[in-house]
Amino acid sequence: MTIRFGIMGTANIARKALIPAMRRSKNVQVVSVASGSGKAKAFSEEMEIGSYHDSYEAMLEDETIDAVYIPLPNTLHKKWTIEAARKGKHVLCEKPAAITVEDAEEMVQVCEENGVCFMEAFMYQFHPQHNKVRDVIASGEIGEVKHMRSTFSFYLGDRPENIRLNKELGGGSIWDVGCYCIHSSRLILGSEPMRVFAEGNVPANLGVDLSANGILTFPNGVTASFDCSFERQMNNVYEVFGTKGSIKVPFAYRPDAPNAEGLIEVMDSSGEIRHERIDGDQYTLMVEHFADSVKNCKSPSYSGELTVNNLKVIEASYASLEKRSPVAIS
């Protein structure tokens, strides 16, 4: 069974990553694109997509479409996820799924009520390098885990028109890249943090964080630090520190980028490093998993509950950033 996708919007992430990944997949077909700005026809021709719609509403009425991918601005995810679910369309929604926990909970609930699959598109987690990290931790090779450190940054430059700097559309470095650090901390440590303390650079003229860093405290005493930025060169790495050794993943979130690869570096107590290279096409693995979930009428491994839990940490991070004090995560 092939799951037929409609693309809601003409964002670069769809052009450069998701549509190519869908075409590489074994169980997905891209059948249409929609845009409310008059770009659908040109985009469909550029990407060689067979049909297009000049409104999102029209796409949701298209019975040839089983599921939609939503790469719209963050503040529009809720509206179009709910509209799609009510029309019986399964939803793969770009991260962050929403900009409030309450909105995400409503999105998940409406999808459940309408019997459609919902998944937030955190693609990086489908790369097998992270399973290898968890296997090494479980083996006891690095001893008892005590701390995890993660970084995701890139240089945005002076681009005031960029959506990432628009407060009204959910801009900010934590929303855009810090969310990966928070997500991977929860994923690799296999637990939910109790509190967070965050600081950052929030220029008054923008009202969004250009850079931020924080510390997460977990129930078992393990900590995780994260930092994210639009003000530094590209860097996407995490490290896990144990009592006997450590693990470094140098291309944690974008192993598909130029000059990057799936790779883990395991260091023992003597300082000796073992390298393991792990191949994987994270975008294709993500869409194939989602399509399999639709086909088999089961919840994706990355559930709505996990999406909500990640947003609770992000929301608390922003609250801490504003209060300049630690915030408990409910």
Q: What is the pLDDT of residues 46-97, one digit of tens each?
A: 999 999 999 999 999 999 999 999 999 999 999 999 999 999 999 999 999 9
Task: pLDDT band for 1, please (50, 70, 90 cuts).
Answer: confident
**pLDDT score of 295 more than 90:** yes
User: Tell me, what's the pLDDT at 163?
Assistant: 93
Q: Fold for domain 125-283+312-328? A: Dihydrodipicolinate Reductase; domain 2 (3.30.360)
Q: Fold for domain 3-121? A: Rossmann fold (3.40.50)
**pLDDT score of 31 more than 90:** yes
Q: What is the pLDDT of residues 85-134, one digit of tens each?
A: 999 999 999 999 999 999 999 999 999 999 999 999 999 999 999 999 99
* CATH 3.30.360.10 residue spans of the chain: 125-283+312-328
Average pLDDT of every residue of the chain: 97
Candidates 158, 180, 164; CA nearest to 11 is: 164
Burial 210-226 (b: 16+ CB within 10 A, else e): bbbbbbbbbeeebbbbb
CB 73 within 8 A of CB 8: no
* CATH 3.40.50.720 residue spans of the chain: 3-121
Q: What is the pLDDT of residues 121-165, one digit of tens each?
A: 999 999 999 999 999 999 999 999 999 999 999 999 888 889 999
Average pLDDT estimate for 275-287: 98
Average pLDDT estimate for 235-250: 98
CB 177 within 8 A of CB 96: no
Task: pLDDT band for 241, please (50, 70, 90 cuts).
Answer: very high
**Following CA atoms 53, 54, 56, 62 in sequence, which dihedral angle do they give, to the nearest 10 degrees?**
-30
Taking each helix axis from N to C terminus, what angle separates 101-113 and 77-86, rounded to the nearest 10 degrees? 10
